[in-house]
Amino acid sequence: MNNKLLEQIVKHIFVNLRIIPSDYISDKSKSLISKDYILDKNITFNIDNESVIKSKIWGCQLMIDKGELKILLTDCSQENDLEYYLIVHLKDAPAYGLYLGIDKDQNADYTIVCSVDYKNWMKCSTYLQATFLAGMEQLKDLKFIWNKCQNYNEQYEMLCSFIKYYDSCEEFVEEK
């Protein structure tokens, strides 16, 4: 897989949702990280069995002709390191999970995975990455109006499952 292309796709999606800054996205467009989209659930992380991080979750949704699209985001950033987990789910379709981590030296880590059963995740091929990007671009081009997410328990479980999947992949890589 083309890692540079994957990095650009992930960053592009995070920029379009105004999660990370960019010079080419209008300041007038609304960020997903807004008090308007903050949800009443949190995700708690234990770091090395010492410190606990409680991360807020933001969520938005919209109705499109094929159904309801929901997006959930949690920000697990610490000090100078950015770390985001994002779930995008169109009802009755596979869910996509995106991870973006940028450390203080601007080194980035990123992934796009998908799940058809919303519990087991697999890395996306370049074709699936491009298809997902095309779908996200259509949302931007059509200028849909987002609403705060409602009835998001299923997507919350997906987000937790994706975080566990990503963390287990990272632990496996570090052990090698």
pLDDT computed for residue 162 by the predictor = 95
| Structural domains counted in the chain | 1
pLDDT computed for residue 16 by the predictor = 86
pLDDT computed for residue 47 by the predictor = 66
Range of the domain at 28: 3-175
pLDDT computed for residue 174 by the predictor = 41
> Taking the model in full, what pTM does it have?
0.88
pLDDT computed for residue 117 by the predictor = 93
pLDDT computed for residue 40 by the predictor = 94
User: Could you please report the per-residue DSSP string of 34-74?
Assistant: SGGGEEEEEEEEEETTTEEEEEEEEEEEEEETTEEEEEEEE
Regions of the chain with pLDDT less than 70: 1-2, 22-29, 46-51, 66, 141-144, 170-176
pLDDT computed for residue 98 by the predictor = 97
pLDDT computed for residue 175 by the predictor = 36
pLDDT computed for residue 90 by the predictor = 92
pLDDT computed for residue 10 by the predictor = 93
